[in-house]
């Protein structure tokens, strides 16, 4: 799966249809999110504070999908 360098929607050809589309983006937890969560647990951030990285979109990876066929074909990894 190709990796892109932008969290914003990108123009690319659809992998199944071949037409040029603008991708739909969805935040998903990645390695950076899990590392921050683990780091907060180590520093004793209990009571749910360690889950804050999962709620902040700028700390998660971004999945780019085709809005027509819903197939994932690009991913932006922050770490």
Reduced to 3 states (helix: H, G, I; strand: E, B; else coil), residue 21 is strand
The tokens describing 43, both together, are 């520093």
Residue 57 CB neighbour total at 10 angstroms: 11
State the pTM of this model: 0.80
Residue 3: the pLDDT is 62
Could you list the pLDDT tens digit for every one of the 79 residues in the chain?
566 678 889 888 887 878 899 999 999 999 999 999 999 989 887 788 889 999 999 999 999 999 988 888 888 888 8
Residue 2: the pLDDT is 63
Residue 6: the pLDDT is 83
Asked if 45 contacts 31 with a C-beta cutoff of 8 angstroms, the reply is no
């Amino acid at each position: 799966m190709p990796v892109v360098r932008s969290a914003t929607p990108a123009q690319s050809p659809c992998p199944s249809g071949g037409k040029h589309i603008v991708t739909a983006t969805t935040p998903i937890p990645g390695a950076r999110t899990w590392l921050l969560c683990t780091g907060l647990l180590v520093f004793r951030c209990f009571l749910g504070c360690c889950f804050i990285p999962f709620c902040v979109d700028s700390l998660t990876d971004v999945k780019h999908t085709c809005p027509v066929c819903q197939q994932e074909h690009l991913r932006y990894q922050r770490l």
